[in-house]
Amino acid sequence: MEEQDRSSQSRLPHVLIFPLPLQGHINSMIKLGELLAIAGLKLTFLNSHHNHERLVKFNNIAAHFERYPGFQFKTITDGLPLDHPRSGRWFLAMFEDTMELKIKQSLREVLVNSSPPVDCIIADGFSGFALDVAKELGIPIIFF
């Protein structure tokens, strides 16, 4: 029992960063994630499949973050069909009408299955549903 207590005390905090799936929100959260990774925290950056593919294609994001061994990317669906144009102009209406429920379910699944467990969530201020999931699972949340 004492050995288990020591190992959990020596474990680095695991932070999950969860931006709204819009490029400007993602960019600022990536910068925050990098600062936390420099500080040595374990980080999971949760992004939509669509936006992560764009980051990989246009920014070579994986190569940039490979220097931070505690930084990992995970992706979830944004709830839209693959051929959807994802226009920023109509995004908030789409988000509330269609995307929020699917993203909320995916967020919960990632948190429940995370190893090591997530100690804190840093979520976009526009994703109020993340608070519901955090409360349900007993995980502290900070809005950014």
- Strand 141-143 and strand 42-48: the pairing is unpaired
- State the average pLDDT for the chain: 84
Q: To the nearest whole percent, how much of the chain has pLDDT over 70? A: 80
Range in 1-5, 6-10, 25-29, 121-125 the model is least confident about: 1-5
25 catalytic, yes or no?
yes
pTM equals 0.83
Q: Which one of 14, 25, 52, 78 is the catalytic residue?
A: 25
Task: Provide the pLDDT for residue 4.
Answer: 44
Q: Which one of 14, 52, 78, 124 is the catalytic residue?
A: 124
Q: What are the start-end ranges of the H helices in the chain? A: 2-10, 23-38, 49-59, 61-65, 91-94, 100-113, 129-137
Name the residue among 112, 122, 101 with its Cα closest to residue 46. Answer: 122
Helix (H, G, I), strand (E, B) or coil at 114: coil
Q: For residue 19, is pLDDT > 70?
A: yes
97-144 pLDDT, tens digit each: 666 788 889 999 999 999 999 999 999 988 888 999 999 999 999 999
DSSP state at residue 128: T
Q: Which residue carries 């960063």 as its tokens?
A: 17
Domains annotated on the chain, with CATH? 14-143 (3.40.50.2000)
33: confidence class by pLDDT, cuts 50, 70, 90: very high
User: Rounded mean pLDDT of 66-92?
Assistant: 77
Q: Which residue carries 């949760």 as its tokens?
A: 46
